[in-house]
Structure 1
Amino acid sequence: MNDIGIVTLVLILLNLVVSYKGFKNTAFYYNHSFIVDEILIHKEYGRLVTSGFLHTSWMHLIFNMMSLCFFSGAVEVVLGIKYFLFIYMTSMVGGNLLLLFVHRHHGDYSAVGASGAVCGIIFASIALFPGMDISFFGIPLYIPGWIYGAGYTLYTIMKIKSDDDSTAHEAHLGGAFIGLLFAICLHPEVVKENYLPLLAMTLPCLVFLYVLFRKPHVLLTDNNAAKHYRNVDDLYNQQRTIQQQEIDTILEKIHHNGISSLSEEERLKLQQYAER
């Protein structure tokens, strides 16, 4: 049930290639990462997708891809390639939309990662096989998948409210809920067979979404709103400084030697800077 399908391999390769380019190219990273102002003000909606293929580090990338490998086989076999990709992509975009809604007033908030999409696949797998055994880090201690799903949902909701770490939990929750929902819609018979486990996973999400849209102050406190928002902000500011230094060096070169002295790479960086 955990055999890796061809689509999963393609997705892993795509994440590797795009993330590696982001590691090496600061401009590429920021032109495609999730940044609230760039999406809402400059209408760069493609970032809702492209940011899902970027990662902040090799560890971040490897953890997401390993999680995808562990859970993708069952979903790809049962739902087929088309619906597997559908759940992966809608979970990615849906998770980022929830993230965008929560942080819509925090223009410099930034995030990257495939976690929303991967959570969608994980929860789709649990929806199809709620009694599946899940262990952690190779420890021979197993719990039913639906207990993990319910516990993870509650944990994520609490972390969103506390807002005390650098993880975009909103994207995780949004992606997980969409994966769960679409798997149930595609195989509605699982509701009749496992309605209590599925209810244990979906009910906290539904309550959270209701409160978020009707009474957001209950979840999003003033302390949350006042914070300089997390995730990759430190990395963002650091690399933005590096990018500005690169541009200053290019402009200084033009001043002394003319624009014809620029290399192809320098011309490209200058063009990207002008577009931004």
Structure 2
Amino acid sequence: MDIILIAVIGITALVSYKGFNDNDFFRKYEFHIGRVRSGEQIRMITSGFLHLDFMHLLFNMITLFFFAPYVIGIIGNIYFLYVYFGSMITGSLLTLYLHKDDYSYRAIGASGAVMGVIYASILLDVNHRMYFYGFIPGYVFGIGYLLYSIYGIKAKRDNIGHTAHFGGAIGGYLITLIREPSLFTTNLEMIGLLMIPILVLFYMHKTNKL
């Protein structure tokens, strides 16, 4: 496994473990609309290293483990980091935009960054399959994950950053297309397909159905 990917997973696991056992630490670095709007923008990044519990952390890191090597193998470590952290930031930005008037809104998780990597890997390798998840094609998993996230946003049963999934997908989508514009001629159908759940989210937001 690539050393950069090992470092990302390791640091995320260590920070998350610290948060599991130290509530003050968790509250200091989680995404919180009121705190972010008061000037603590660092939370837009630090919240991406925190997780709700061990299963939340495990799911995100296993997903990253299966998708990231495709991105690293095709566009290299530097652009993988651009995709990962760029998607983390766009996930937080979309969360801030959609929940800007809810000063008590909280969220945590690397899901936005991981979703960006998922979208990047699908664009770069349309035939990618996640064998761990039962031979599911990557694009089916990615789109299904986003559609499930709409349910998570509506249900509001936890402080997992479901909105950040969409922001992360947008980040991974745009960064990859900027890096590889040839995809507009070689993979136009998938570009359009991956845009569908993102458009559904904005439509539901516009029509107050979220």
Q: TM-score, normalised by structure 1?
A: 0.69
Contact 1:91/1:179 (<8 A) preserved: yes
Correspondences of 1:28-107 after superposition (within 5 Å): 28-40=25-37, 42-107=38-103
* Structure 1 residues 123-176: Cα deviation after superposition (integer angstroms, max 9, x where no partner): 110110112223454x3xx3432333334334434543x335424321111101
Report the equivalent of 1:18: 15
Contact 1:37/1:107 (<8 A) preserved: yes
Report the equivalent of 1:169: 162
**Following TM superposition, where does structure 1 have runs of at least 4 consecutive aligned residues deviating by more than 4 angstroms?**
none
* Structure 1 residues 207-255: Cα deviation after superposition (integer angstroms, max 9, x where no partner): 533664xx3x4334xxxxxxxxxxxxxxxxxxxxxxxxxxxxxxxxxxx
Correspondences of 1:1-276 after superposition (within 5 Å): 4-40=1-37, 42-135=38-131, 137=133, 139=134, 142-157=135-150, 159-160=152-153, 162-166=154-158, 167-206=160-199, 208-209=201-202, 212=205, 215=206, 217-220=207-210
Superposed displacement of residue 190, structure 1: 2.1
Ranked by relative contact order (alpha carbons within 8 Å, sequence separation 6 or more), the top structure is 2
* Matching residue's letter, 2:18: K
* Matching residue's letter, 1:132: H
* Matching residue's letter, 1:200: L
Contact 2:109/2:161 (<8 A) preserved: no
Distance 1:143 1:13, change over 3 A: closer
RMSD after superposition: 2.0
Superposed displacement of residue 32, structure 1: 0.7
Distance 1:186 1:127, change over 3 A: same
Q: Distance in 1 between matches of 2:184 and 2:2?
A: 26
Q: TM-score, normalised by structure 2?
A: 0.89
Distance 1:153 1:27, change over 3 A: closer
Q: Which runs of 5+ in 1 are unaligned?
A: 221-276
SS at structure 1 position matched to 2:176 = helix
Q: Distance in 2 between matches of 1:191 and 1:165?
A: 38
Q: Which runs of 5+ in 2 are unaligned?
A: none
* Matching residue's letter, 1:9: I
Q: Distance in 2 between matches of 1:24 and 1:148?
A: 32
* Matching residue's letter, 1:218: N
Contact 1:5/1:72 (<8 A) preserved: no
SS at structure 2 position matched to 1:63 = helix
Q: Distance in 2 between matches of 1:17 and 1:154?
A: 30
* Matching residue's letter, 2:209: L
* Matching residue's letter, 1:14: I
* Matching residue's letter, 2:9: I
Superposed displacement of residue 24, structure 1: 2.3
Percent identity between the aligned chains? 39
Contact 1:67/1:118 (<8 A) preserved: yes
Distance 1:207 1:18, change over 3 A: same
* Structure 1 residues 79-112: Cα deviation after superposition (integer angstroms, max 9, x where no partner): 1111111110011111111112222122121111
